[in-house]
């Protein structure tokens, strides 16, 4: 295993994360659960402190100075997100509570009013429950049918797997950009092109992709893209639904209230334009500012060096886990930042407890992807996932913990 390349200074990155300064059960913390949520750099914590401690006011309402700063900050965050997504129109960025709320907004506000009995929703077995249960609810409400794309055991997803299931009845394709279990990067652009050709829209769950792969809406060609800030080093409770402007205009608001109306009369109201019509109530102002800070912080990293760094962690962990007899789940070329594996005879939760005791934080279980676990005939997996701050020592701690687990579970003589 090689040390980190000089182009990426992981020690400098680590120094920006206060959470990494602690010990857990008396051990150095090896945080390998960034696919669940990433730790937060000081820049994000500072932005939250400024939002609550200095520029605190409600947005789009009062004329006083603090309200001006809060409103400008909130709208600047929206523009920053648009830039991150490679789009010019900031009004195509809707703030939500997170990925799940964004996907549910499309399901309830766009799909449920439009789909009819006999229509088809195409989705993969590998989807996270957040991009699966909303479509079950749409199917239940409208009589539309779910058409499943199977996942091969190697975790490699091919565009043809989707394209060959598209037809005149397909109205919507729901897919993740990056699998939270397998690390597979899906060929979104090719699938979205095929979907458009049959008149279907494409809804992409970007939760796992945003911290690891470039996300350019023009290149992807999807209709909706959802992600949360918290896996991208930002705060919890804030996320984004990006949509093509004409698609966003078609969404029926699911919440009415302040912030989203232009005129309210006794019997009816007129709504504002998007994005505001989809953001009823006081938004998570500090969250938006924290997301802005996270995007700035993230953009400050040398992207090519970061991706290479994370790929190196993934590669050395893969080699180490396999050397200890672990079976790695998911072998897609170019997979990113998540290593799912099983150790024969040791349940993932036992691994989780044992590793925790060694200061190593991983996730064990079905990863909110039960249909995928069923398809792969797995009870669950252990998942180590990597972020900007993981160094060689984190992987070494993981492997030491796995050795310990093997020793504890070895048949007694």
Partner 1 sequence: MTDALDALYDAAIVRRAREARAVRVPEGATHRAKVHNALCGDRVEVGAVLSEAGITELGFRARGCALSLAAAHLLRELLAGRDVEEARALTRAFRAALEEGVPPEDPALAEALAPFLPVRRFPSRVRCATLACEATEEALEP
Query: Which residues lie near partner 1 (CB under 8 A)?
Result: 345-350, 353-354, 357, 364-366, 370, 379-380, 404, 408-409, 411-412
Task: Report the C-alpha gap between 298 and 317 in whole angstroms.
Answer: 24
Closest distance between partner 1 and the C-beta of residue 345, in Å? 7
DSSP 341-377: EEBTTB-HHHHHHHHHHTTEE-EEE-TT-HHHHHHTT
CA within 13 Å, CB half, 270: 3
Task: Report the C-alpha gap between 336 and 320 in whole angstroms.
Answer: 17
Q: Is residue 144 within 8 Å of residue 121, measured between CB atoms?
A: yes
Which C-beta is closer to partner 1: that of 218 or that of 353? 353
Q: Which residues pair with 171 in a beta bridge?
A: none
Closest distance between partner 1 and the C-beta of residue 235, in Å? 25
Closest distance between partner 1 and the C-beta of residue 192, in Å? 32
Which C-beta is closer to partner 1: that of 275 or that of 348? 348
Closest distance between partner 1 and the C-beta of residue 179, in Å? 18
Q: What is the bridge-based pairing of β-strands 360-361 and 30-31?
A: parallel
Task: Report the C-alpha gap between 295 and 44 in whole angstroms.
Answer: 9
Task: Report the C-alpha gap between 166 and 197 in whole angstroms.
Answer: 9
12 secondary structure, DSSP code = H
Which C-beta is closer to partner 1: that of 300 or that of 345? 345
Which C-beta is closer to partner 1: that of 149 or that of 369? 369
Query: Strand locations in 63-112, DSSP E?
Result: 93-96
Active site residues: 368
Residues whose CB falls within 8 Å of the CB of residue 248, separated by 6 or more in sequence, listed in order: 92, 94, 241, 274, 275, 278
Which C-beta is closer to partner 1: that of 166 or that of 384? 384
Residues whose CB falls within 8 Å of the CB of residue 339, separated by 6 or more in sequence, listed in order: 183, 314, 317, 318, 321, 328, 383, 384, 385, 386
């Amino acid at each position: 295993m090689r040390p980190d390349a000089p182009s990426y200074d992981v020690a400098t990155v680590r120094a920006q994360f206060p959470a990494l300064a602690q010990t857990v059960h008396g051990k150095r913390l090896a945080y390998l659960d960034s696919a669940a949520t990433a730790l937060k750099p000081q820049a994000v914590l500072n932005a939250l402190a400024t939002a609550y401690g200095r520029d605190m006011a409600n947005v789009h309402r009062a004329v006083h100075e603090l309200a001006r700063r809060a409103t400008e900050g909130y709208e600047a965050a929206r523009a920053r997100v648009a830039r991150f997504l490679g789009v010019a129109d900031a009004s195509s960025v809707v703030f939500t509570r997170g990925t799940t709320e964004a996907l549910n907004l499309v399901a309830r506000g766009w799909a449920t009013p439009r789909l009819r009995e006999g229509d088809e929703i195409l989705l993969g077995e590998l989807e996270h429950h957040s991009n699966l249960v909303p479509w079950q609810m749409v199917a239940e409400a409208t009589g539309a049918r779910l058409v499943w794309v199977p996942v091969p055991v190697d975790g490699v997803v091919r565009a043809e797997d989707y394209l060959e299931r598209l037809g005149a009845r397909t109205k919507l394709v729901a897919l993740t950009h990056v699998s939270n279990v397998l690390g597979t990067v899906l060929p979104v652009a090719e699938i979205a092109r095929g979907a458009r050709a049959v008149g279907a829209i494409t809804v992409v769950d970007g939760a796992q992709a945003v911290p690891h792969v470039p996300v350019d809406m023009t290149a992807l060609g999807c209709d909706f893209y959802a992600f949360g800030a918290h896996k991208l080093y930002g705060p919890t409770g804030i996320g984004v639904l990006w949509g093509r402007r004409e698609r966003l205009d078609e969404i029926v608001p699911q919440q009415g209230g302040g912030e989203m109306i232009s005129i309210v009369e006794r019997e009816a109201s007129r709504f504002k334009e998007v994005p505001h019509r989809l953001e009823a109530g006081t938004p998570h102002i500090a969250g938006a500012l924290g997301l802005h800070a996270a995007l700035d912080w993230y953009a400050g990293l040398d992207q090519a060096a970061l991706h290479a760094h994370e790929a190196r962690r993934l590669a050395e962990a893969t080699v180490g886990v396999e050397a200890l007899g672990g079976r790695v789940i998911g072998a897609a070329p170019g997979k990113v930042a998540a290593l799912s594996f099983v150790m024969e005879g040791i349940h993932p939760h036992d691994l989780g407890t044992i590793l925790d005791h060694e200061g190593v934080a991983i996730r064990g279980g079905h990863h909110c992807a039960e249909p995928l676990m069923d398809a792969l005939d797995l009870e669950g997996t252990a998942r180590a996932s990597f972020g900007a701050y993981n160094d060689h020592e984190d992987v070494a701690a993981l492997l030491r913990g796995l050795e310990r687990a093997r020793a504890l579970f070895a048949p007694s003589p």
